[in-house]
Structure 1
Amino acid sequence: MSFQIRTEPADQHFDAAPGETILAAALRQGVGLPYGCRNGTCGSCAAQLIAGQVDYPSGTTSGLEGKPPGTCLTCQAVPTADLVLGVTQIRGVAQIEVRTLPCRVVRKEHLSHDVVRLYLKLPEQQRLQFFAGQYLDFILRDGRKRAFSIANAPHDDAAIELHVRHVPQGQFTDYVFNDLQEKTILRIQGPLGTFFLREDTDRPIILMGGGTGFAPLKAMIEHAFHIGIERPMQLYWGVRARRDLYLPDLPLAWARAHPHFTYTPVLSEPDPDWQGRTGFVHEAVAADHADLSGFDCYLSGPPPMVEAGRRAFEARGLPRDHLFSDAFEYAPETRAAAGG
């Protein structure tokens, strides 16, 4: 016996098989629901449960913390009755096929003391179609997955660019940082996630990244330049010290080439000779913008940074529908390396 699911306000209908999560059923039938980590921690898949009942067989519901009553996590929730969900659908992502492919490491660069850049080449005649800001999974030999944000724009897809931060005691990132060799064959699955640049709006853009949360924002910015978006774009990049700005010249070059783009690095543990902004990156954004009601804001990085930014920006009038986020989980290694 399957359960019928209807979404509002789009009035989209689909069904879920017994034991199937809402998100799995939606993706199986080409219904574009928002999601991120797919393990119940990030909260990106949260939807309003207007009618019906769900169960959480996995028991993983930490992504519900801070959400309004009546919210469900579609990536973990299994229907036990017919449902009506209040959720904003993302039609474009659903139209892109999620594929599992082999890839070859064609280039490995140490960008800083704890960040490596990888370039992955797919088999001949193959390309990975994706939206700027999405991520992919590495599929390990034992079936585990490790997620990394795609750092290149869709038009520049001869190779897939990833920024990998060395996570302390992270088995996979230890391997990537120390032992992974060029020409190694790996297996990936993607594209994944609903963190991508919204193009059908005239609102100015604020992009806030923490650490290697810069990776998906880089893809968005380069895509925006490529398609000719000339809305004001402001990038705030928060790190501890100057050495953590692992591509320091790139945003400066963007700012020189594009008058509508500005860049603000923010150091929380600044070097003695640092003359720029200091403190937490979300505080710098808030200090510069007393009213965010007219902006689109993109947040990418560690969950505490994303959550602090969400609270601060909503307090300054940012509507929830115009705040887009991708929170990286560093431990356990699940969404552990999505860009970081």
Structure 2
Amino acid sequence: MTIRCKVKSIKPLASNTFRVLLHPETPVEFEAGQYLMVVMGEKDKRPFSIASSPCRHEGELELHIGAAEENAYALEVVNRMHEALSNGSDIVIDAPHGDAALKESDRSMLLIAGGTGFSYVRSILDHCISQNINNPIYLYWGARSKSQLYAFDELTSIEEQHANIHFVPVVEDDEGIWTGKTGNVLQAVMQDFSDLSEYDIYIAGRFEMAGSAREQFIFNKKAKVEQIYSDAFAFI
């Protein structure tokens, strides 16, 4: 469904990463873990995960967009958002989309995000908290450095408040000050779990990361293909 939106705010989350709040002219019904398409042209629609929870979004849609200069695909969208915010014009979206939304299940959950893929798992996590879903939840978030883990303090606080939620940050560059896990986020998961057969696994990040995760988890950690979810699978 195509919907016109006002850009309510654009705020930096980290270097080259922005939090965008959109206010749609009509309410958008979506599931935790779905995404929307920003319409840039008649045949140019660009996907971004909805970071909002479907039960706690107050009519607004939150996006986390990583827009480094070398990523023209996302940077052009942020520039369009800034233009719309400054002149009061509309942004057009097509929503909702995605088959990798949260599934009803009694199994433990493994949420894996690379970079701004965190927006996908944030929606799922927030929905689980608001609905008092007490399944064990393990959230692994990988980034180049701690500064890119823009919700680090929020997730640390959530972990302290909820015994069933476990936050595991992983950075590629420890900068000499990081005391947590380092390296690749998938390697961290592979090291920490011996059997993923009883987990529902949700993955967001680069397409090659999602594909590699599915392959490694199935062949090495007994994960079941029907319990691994990522919208990247529709494109690879």
Structure 1 length-normalised TM: 0.64
Residue 160 (structure 1) aligns with: 61
**Which runs of 5 or more residues in structure 1 are unaligned?**
1-98, 330-334, 336-340
Higher relative contact order (CA closer than 8 Å, sequence separation 6+): 2
Partner of 1:57: none
Which has a greater percent of helix? 2
From 16, 21, 33, the equivalent of 1:119 is: 21
- Residue 120 of structure 1 and its aligned partner are, at CA, apart by 0.3
Q: Which moved more, 1:313-322 or 1:302-311?
A: 302-311
Runs of 4 or more off by more than 6 Å in structure 1?
none
Map of 1:106 onto structure 2: 8
Contact 2:210 2:233 in 1 (8 A): no
Q: Distance in 1 between matches of 2:45 and 2:65?
A: 15
Distance (Å, rounded) in 2 between the aligned partners of 1:246 and 1:326 = 23
Q: Which residue of 1 aligns with 2:184?
A: 280
Amino acid at match of 2:51: A
Partner SS state of residue 293, structure 1: coil
Matched with 1:148 is 48
Tell me the CA shift for residue 298 of structure 1: 0.8
Q: CA deviation at 1:246?
A: 1.9
- Give the aligned residue type for 1:110: P
1:13-52, aligned counterparts within 5 Å?
none
Displacement of 1:319: 0.8
1:167 offset after TM fit, Å? 4.3
CA apart distance, 1:313: 1.2
Q: Distance in 1 between matches of 2:168 and 2:79?
A: 32
Give a deviation string over 1:310-331, Cα, whole Å, max 9, x none.
12211210111111113399xx
Higher alpha-carbon deviation: 219-228 or 304-313: 304-313
The equivalent of 1:323 in structure 2 is: 228
Q: Name the structure 1 match of 2:100.
A: 195
Q: What is the CA–CA distance in structure 2 between the aligned matches of 1:296 and 1:146, rounded to whole Å?
A: 27
Instruction: Determine the C-alpha separation between the residues in 2 that align with 1:290 and 1:211.
Output: 25
Report the RMSD for the aligned CA atoms in angstroms. Answer: 1.9
Q: What is the 5 A alignment of 1:160-179?
A: 160-178=61-79
Q: Is the 8 A contact 1:266 1:281 kept in 2?
A: yes
Q: Give the 5 Å matches for 1:1-340.
A: 99-123=1-25, 126-157=26-57, 158-178=59-79, 180-181=82-83, 182=85, 183-199=88-104, 201-314=105-218, 315-327=220-232
- Residue 283 of structure 1 aligns to which amino acid in structure 2? Q
Shift, 1:305, TM fit: 1.6
Q: In structure 2, what is the Cα distance between the partners aligned to 1:172 and 1:283?
A: 28
Instruction: Give the C-alpha shift of residue 173 in structure 1.
Output: 2.8
CA apart distance, 1:142:
4.6
Task: Name the TM-score, length of structure 2 as normaliser.
Answer: 0.91
Q: 1:186: Cα distance to partner?
A: 0.5
Q: What is the distance in 1 between the residues matched to 2:27 and 2:42? A: 26
Q: What does the per-residue CA deviation read over 1:3-51, in whole Å, with 9 as the maximum and x for residues that have no partner?
A: xxxxxxxxxxxxxxxxxxxxxxxxxxxxxxxxxxxxxxxxxxxxxxxxx
1-side partners of 2:140 and 2:71: how far apart? 27
Contact kept, 8 Å, 2:115 with 2:142, in 1: the verdict is yes
Larger Rg computed on CA atoms: 1
Q: Residue 300 of structure 1 contacts residue 328 of structure 1 at CA under 8 Å; is this kept in 2?
A: no
Q: How many residues align?
A: 229
Q: Which amino acid aligns with 1:238?
A: G
Q: Do the aligned residues in 1 keep the contact of 2:202 with 2:230 (CA within 8 Å)? A: yes
Deviations 1:58-78 (A, max 9, x none): xxxxxxxxxxxxxxxxxxxxx
